[in-house]
Amino acid sequence: MRPQTYSNVADNSGARESMRIRVPGASNRQYASIGDMIVAVVREAVPNMPPKGSEVVRAVIARTRKGLNRDNGMAIRFDDNAAVAIDREGNPKGTRVFGPVARESRECHFAKTVSSAPEVLR
Amino acid sequence: MRLEKCWFCSSTIYPGHGMMYVRNDAKIFRFCRSKCHKNFKMKRNPRKVKWTKIYRKLHGKELPQDTTFELERKRNRPERYDRNVVEDTVKAMKKISETRVEREAQTLANRMRGKKTQQRREDLAELQQGIHLVKAPTALLEEPSLTLPKEKMKVKVSVEQESKAMES
């Protein structure tokens, strides 16, 4: 995912769509992939809920259309680009996560997010 | 390590090959190569695409139902490792695949039965109709060794030959 990429927000934190701004901690890192934390701005939100449009949030990328390449050689592609809103410590902001999530997110200390996902892809 | 089946063509996907597509409803589609993936993206129904195994089984081109297939079912519960079981399984796998190959060959033979005679009949008809392209009819008459192959239904052939002789 590059900066300016729109992605669906896959949880019930109140945001619907977010746009990626940056990858925190790196100088000019262009690409963020599944399992990376990103800084994003909320572009579209569910009305009357905390995150408002143009609020900056952190998120973990859960699915990308570009997908992953696993060690066993299998390539995995998802249907959309999606991220889950998290706070600074890495805990999910919402209570539920929608859609499948790749196992890679777990490896990057986002265990809580992954555990509330309906389906985790091994 | 697990050998999967391609969703589109039903061939085995070995490790290092293929691609997995996950839909948002968490349904997983595995493809053995981009050909299958592209067909999927075109929203083609594998049941209608002639080179897939599903089509072939549906249209009776291949062994549809057999006990050898049931033995290959996917089992999700891991078995406790037992050396003897593994040995027996390996032996059984070999025997099962041999049996399956035999049965598939039999199905093919059944399907192709009568094809040879039909082919021969068709070839003969073509020969009779088109022999003038190869040899002039008069040549056929002059050289008695040049005759069209005789079919079992002798009556039909001789009548046609006679009429040809009468024409020329």
* pLDDT one-digit tens code per residue, A47-94: 777 767 778 888 888 888 888 888 778 888 888 888 888 887 777 777
Q: What is the CA radius of gyration of chain A?
A: 13
* pLDDT one-digit tens code per residue, A19-30: 888 787 767 777
Specify the pLDDT at position B37.
93
- Nearest chain A residue (CA) to B16: A73
Question: Which one is predicted more confidently, B140 or B114?
Answer: B114
Q: Strand, helix or coil at A8? A: strand
* pLDDT one-digit tens code per residue, B85-117: 889 989 988 998 898 888 889 888 888 888 888
Joined together, the tokens standing for residue B22 give: 């996950």
How remote is the C-alpha of A83 from its chain's centroid? 2
User: What's the domain range around A11?
Assistant: 5-120
A120 interfaces chain B, CB cutoff of 8 Å: no
pLDDT above 70: percentage of residues in chain B: 82
Is the CB of A79 less than 8 angstroms away from the CB of B18?
Answer: no
Average pLDDT, integer, range B121-137? 82
Average pLDDT, integer, range B53-66? 85
Is the CB of B22 less than 8 angstroms away from the CB of A76?
Answer: yes
Q: Where do runs of H (alpha helix) occur along A8-110?
A: 104-107
Domain borders along chain B are 1-62, 63-73+82-131
For residues A71 and A88, the answer to whether their CB atoms sit within 8 Å is no
Domain of A38: which CATH number? Answer: 2.40.150.20
Q: What is the CATH number of domain B1-62?
A: 2.30.170.20
- Hey, which residues does A101 pair with through a beta bridge? A120
Its sign, for the CA torsion B127, B132, B136, B142, is positive
A28 interfaces chain B, CB cutoff of 8 Å: no
- Cα distances from B123 to residues B36, B112, B116, B119, B126, in angstroms, run 38, 17, 10, 6, 5
For residues A57 and A51, the answer to whether their CB atoms sit within 8 Å is yes
Is the CB of A75 less than 8 angstroms away from the CB of B18?
Answer: yes
Put residue B43 in one of left, alpha, beta given phi > 0 → left and psi -120 to 50 → alpha. Answer: left
- Hey, which residues does A56 pair with through a beta bridge? A41
Strands A56-63 and B12-13, bridge-based pairing: unpaired
Going by the DSSP 8-state scheme, the letter that residue B49 receives in this structure is: -
- Nearest chain A residue (CA) to B4: A74
- Nearest chain B residue (CA) to A66: B21
Q: pLDDT band for B154, please (50, 70, 90 cuts).
A: very low
Residue B46 has pLDDT above 70, yes or no: yes
For residues B69 and B96, the answer to whether their CB atoms sit within 8 Å is no
For residues A20 and A2, the answer to whether their CB atoms sit within 8 Å is yes
- Longest CA–CA span in chain B (Å) reads 84
Structural domain count of chain A = 1
Is the CB of A121 less than 8 angstroms away from the CB of B22?
Answer: yes
Residue B155 has pLDDT above 50, yes or no: no
- Quote the crossing angle between the two packed helices B115-130 and B154-167, to the nearest 10°: 10
Separation CA B117–CA B168 (nearest Å): 31
Q: How many CB atoms sit inside 10 A of residue A94's CB?
A: 21
Residue B131 has pLDDT above 70, yes or no: yes
A72 interfaces chain B, CB cutoff of 8 Å: yes
Q: pLDDT band for B70, please (50, 70, 90 cuts).
A: confident
Joined together, the tokens standing for residue B66 give: 């057999």
* pLDDT one-digit tens code per residue, A4-14: 788 888 777 77
Is the CB of A79 less than 8 angstroms away from the CB of B23?
Answer: yes
A89 interfaces chain B, CB cutoff of 8 Å: no
Residue A115 has pLDDT above 70, yes or no: no
Q: pLDDT band for B41, please (50, 70, 90 cuts).
A: very high
Specify the pLDDT at position B89.
87
Enumerate the residues of chain B whose CB falls inside 8 A of the CB of residue A80. Answer: 24
Residue A96 has pLDDT above 50, yes or no: yes
Specify the pLDDT at position A54.
74
Specify the pLDDT at position A4.
79
